[in-house]
Amino acid sequence: MKRIGEIIRDLKIGIEKKDFARNDDIESIWFRIIGDELKGHCYVSKIHKDTMVVKVDSSIYLSELNFRKDKLVDAMKRETGGRIRKIIFTI
């Protein structure tokens, strides 16, 4: 029989793995939405609550992503079931 501490530890590890998998899924969705043209110039650096932070490698691509931001947010909301509601782009 497992001790309560072991059960809690196993549960915590399981939850962390599930969150990590969901974040990987979100990054896959992001790359599919932005397409090959932008894929090599940005990556998801952080997800906190309903906000996704995307690092961009140059100001040109930052401007392009900001120009498309409303459509990208709508697509992420739709594809993630509302888990992502805001996107912040940074260099």
Query: Hey, what CATH class is 4-90 in?
Result: alpha beta
pTM (2 d.p.):
0.72
Domain ranges of the chain: 4-90
State the burial class of residue 74 (Cβ atoms within 10 Å of its Cβ: 0-12, 13-18, 19+): exposed
4-29 per-position pLDDT tens digit: 777 777 666 554 444 444 566 888 99
